[in-house]
Each structure stands twice: as C-alpha cells, then as structure tokens.
Chain A
Amino acid sequence: MLKSYNLIFGTMLAIFTSITLPLTAQTKTNVAADSLTAAKQISAASGRPIFAIAGQST
C-alpha cells in the first residue's frame, strides 16, 4: 500500500500530460479544482468529467 497519495496524484498528472488524448474539447485550458464543490461546478458548467483520486492525506 502506498503511503502518500499525493505522490500518486503527481505521478498521474505527469503521465496525463504526456498522453495525447482525443481532443473533443473546444478549449485546452487546464482546470483544477481546490474543492469538490468547485470541481462539480466546473464540471457541470463545462461538461468536463471529474477525475478524482481518493487516498489518505499525508
């Protein structure tokens, strides 16, 4: 079991940025949310899906 999910999250982000995903989006602006409420609002307004990683805080 990994101890820090911050490490995982960071690793995931690094992987994602190197992946070429099919660009159906009209904009490539990166949107990160600092709270779940904000994430839901951004997602509902734009149609972007939420990518969430749940783990233990460090």
Chain B
Amino acid sequence: MAQFVPIKLDVSSPEYAQWRRDHTPDGNGIPQLFIVRADGETLYGRSGSLRGPDLPNMLIAALQNSGRILSAREAQSLSEAADKFTQEKEKGNFESAIKAISRVRKIGEPGQIPSYSEPALRVNRLVIETTEEVRNQLKELASQIESDQADAKLKAMLGYLKLRQDFGALKMVKSDLAAFQKKYTAKENKQLAREAKIIVSADQANTKSKKTRAIESLTELINETEIEPVRKEAEKKLSELKQKMDAG
C-alpha cells in the first residue's frame, strides 16, 4: 500500500464529478475503484469491489505499469538537476548543463528515466528537447558539409566539433555524433577535419604554455594547408591569440 496514494472520494462531491470526467469508470454502480498513474493516466477504473486474488492481481498489474517510484531525496535531486541544467544551458554552458543532469544517472538515464513523476518527466523532457536540438543541428551541418563550398564546409566542421565538445557526454546523442563523425570526417573530409581540430584546440588554449603551442600549431597549419578558408581562419585565430598573449 505504501506504493499507492490512497484516497476516498464521495460521489456526491464536486471533486468527484471532475474526477469522473477525467477517469471515466466502466459501470455506474458503487463502489468504484480507480488506479491513476502519476501522470494522470487511468490504469484501472471500474465499479464493483474485487474479491479474492483479483484485488492483489490488479494492484500488481497496475504497479508494473506505474513506473519507478521516487524517494523524496531522489525527487529533489531530479528537480535540482533540471533547474541547474536549464540555468547552465541558458548561459550557453552546455558542458556544465550536461554534467548537472548526468548526476542523476543512478536514478535512470536522463531522457529515459522510467518514472511518471513530475521531476522525472521534467528531466526527460529537457533532455529529449536538447537531443532534438542537437540532431537538428547535425542535419544542418551535414547539408553544409555536403555542399561544394569550402567556406561552408569549414564552418560546418567547426560547428560539429563544438557540438561534440558541448554535448558529447549526453548519452542520447552519442550515436548521432558517432554517425556524423563516421560519415563526414573521413575520406575526402579527413584533412578538413584534422585541420579544423587544430583551430578548435587553439581556440580553447587557456594557459600560457597551451597558447604558445597553439601559436606553433596554427603557424604550421597556415604554411601547410591546401584549403584556403582554413588558412584564413587559422590566420584570424593566430592574430587573436597573439593579441591575447601580448595583453598578458
């Protein structure tokens, strides 16, 4: 019984009238028994009491379709993770957002938590929305890479690398990212992918020694690349990096 929220309803009360509209029972007699899942789905709704093993059998069947039940602590963890995810995502801190949501993995894989509780549904909704966003971006990037414009190809490759860095830890998009990588960073795009990685790495250099190494890599790239947009982008990054180094 601890796994249910029991309540009595008076059939002459206004709240029962509303309840009946939401969960229409089979039959009009009383008593009426209802099992309603946490998301409002009616699992059982019939008039007449159940006898013998029928009642426990019905309850067991209902529980099997009720999803995971959360402790108060788990519900709080999910709510906090959802809040943090939303805040960090709004700031553009995607890695932090994914990290926040990943902390609840022990309850269930975010996006697929098998619970109909509101905190779990919220986390799932956020992750599914984000997964869809990433998939849409990948589709757009794929069409750019498939174009014959070198500028667009580079932009798309840089976009893919950023997307992988930001959302690579999100399990639900790992296979999409891997499929993109397999299809678009090999063969004829291999050189572009390798050179784009050098530009992205240089962009992320955050210590003096990393910046020095990035300057060397970019200089080498500028001298060796056969892709004109890569040379231009590398020159731009090199200039920015040198300015940062000079500034201190």
Contacts and interface: CB of A to CB of B under 8 A. Distances in A.
B19 A31 contact: no
A28 B32 contact: no
Interface in B40-85: 43, 49, 55-56, 59-60, 62-64, 66-72, 74-75
Interface residues of A, number: 44
Nearest to B66: A49
Contacts, number: 177
Interface stretch (B114-122, B166-174, B210-218): B114-122
Interface in A1-45: 1-2, 5-6, 8-9, 12-13, 15-17, 19, 21-33, 35-36, 39, 42-45
Interface stretch (B4-12, B141-149, B155-163, B181-189): B4-12
Interface size class of B (residues with CB under 8 A): 35 or more
A46 B19 contact: no
B34 interface: yes
A27 B7 contact: no
Nearest to B36: A50
Contacts of B30: 1-2, 5, 54-56
22 contacts: A25-B2, A27-B72, A30-B2, A32-B5, A32-B7, A35-B7, A35-B15, A36-B19, A45-B75, A46-B38, A46-B69, A47-B66, A49-B5, A49-B35, A49-B36, A49-B37, A50-B6, A51-B1, A51-B35, A53-B31, A54-B25, A55-B11
Interface of A: 1-2, 5-6, 8-9, 12-13, 15-17, 19, 21-33, 35-36, 39, 42-57
